[in-house]
Amino acid sequence: MVTADRRLVLATRNAHKVVELREILAEALDAAGLELVGLDAFPDLEDVVESGVTFAENALLKARYAAASTGLPALADDSGLAVDVLGGAPGVFSARWSGPLAEVTGTDKDSANNALLLAQLADVPDEHRGAGFVCAAALVLPGETPGSTGAEVVREGTCRGVVGRAPRGENGFGYDPLLVRPDGRTLAEHTSAEKHAVSHRGEAFRALAADVAALLGG
């Protein structure tokens, strides 16, 4: 279902993600005449409990809720860092890996997550610090009746590297300052354009851009 309202909702309150996705999807948004907005544009909506056990399940949970609640097409993603030696953890728990540690230590959530992960990997040698970001990006259209949903698509992307020994770089968020790419720089040390070209989120949403154009271009 294509609505007269040409807004496309990104199911997040993370301002960094909204800016990043506007950049990654700029061409597709312009071509389709769409404006990307975050959940801050809908203050009455609740946050969705990410109860899925995979990135794709969580992305769909958020996109379905946003599409059904707003009557607009919705995008959502779920992403995280999968560390090889930890069996793929933090995985879907990446954003809340440190639990209440941030409150206890008086730091922000990203810093607490990074600090805990580094502590857990402190005695792991460099050759066993392989890891990768994983992103599942979902597009869900509203249904024909209020509160329902229609067509949905999920695309995935990955970005491999190794976990560094300390955070480096300012152009990123989450675990970006920890994942060292083959060129020796962390994702947070890349420019925005460089990061979009190699990141898991960039790969997933570039794939989804074709679906945005096909389903919403009219």
* DSSP sequence for 114-151: HHHHHHHTTTS-GGG-EEEEEEEEEEEEE-SSTT-EEE
- Whether 141 is in a domain gets the answer yes
- Whether 2 is in a domain gets the answer no
Give pLDDT, residue 15: 86
Q: Is 192 annotated as a binding residue?
A: no
Q: Is 147 annotated as a binding residue?
A: no
Establish whether 78 is a catalytic residue.
yes
Q: What is the CATH number of the domain that holds 103?
A: 3.90.950.10
Amino acid making up residue 89: A
Give pLDDT, residue 14: 85
E strand or H helix at 32: helix 26-32
Cβ atoms of residues 46 and 68 within 8 Å:
no
Reply yes or no: is the peptide bond before residue 167 cis, omega within 30 of 0.
no
How far CA 130 is from CA of 44, 46, 77, 159, 195, in Å, comes to: 41, 36, 23, 11, 19
Give pLDDT, residue 16: 83
Give pLDDT, residue 2: 52
Instruction: Tell which residue, 82, 86, 51, 48, has the closest CA to residue 67.
Output: 48
- Whether 20 is in a domain gets the answer yes
Q: Is 13 annotated as a binding residue?
A: yes
Q: Is 47 annotated as a binding residue?
A: no
Give pLDDT, residue 40: 93
Q: Does residue 126 surpass a pLDDT of 60? A: yes
Q: Does residue 215 surpass a pLDDT of 70? A: yes
Q: Does residue 218 surpass a pLDDT of 80? A: no
Q: Kindly name the residue from 78, 123, 183, 211 that is annotated as catalytic.
A: 78
Q: Give mean pLDDT, residues 116-139.
A: 97
Q: Which residues pair with 83 in a beta bridge?
A: 131
- Whether 97 is in a domain gets the answer yes
> Domain limits at 14?
7-216
pLDDT digits (tens, 9 = 90+) for 2-44: 557 899 999 999 888 899 899 889 999 998 899 999 999 999 9
Q: d(Cα 20, Cα 193) in Å, to the nearest integer? A: 10
Give pLDDT, residue 114: 96
Q: d(Cα 122, Cα 91) in Å, to the nearest integer? A: 19
Per the structure, how many domains does the chain have?
1
- Whether 81 is in a domain gets the answer yes
Q: Does residue 208 surpass a pLDDT of 60? A: yes
Q: Give mean pLDDT, residues 131-143.
A: 97
Q: What is the pTM of this model?
A: 0.89
- Count, in order, helices (H) and strands (E) of the chain: 7, 6
Q: Is 12 annotated as a binding residue?
A: yes
- Whether 1 is in a domain gets the answer no
Residue 64, helix vs strand vs coil: helix
pLDDT digits (tens, 9 = 90+) for 170-185: 998 899 999 999 999 9
pLDDT digits (tens, 9 = 90+) for 37-80: 999 999 999 888 889 999 999 999 999 999 999 999 999 999 99
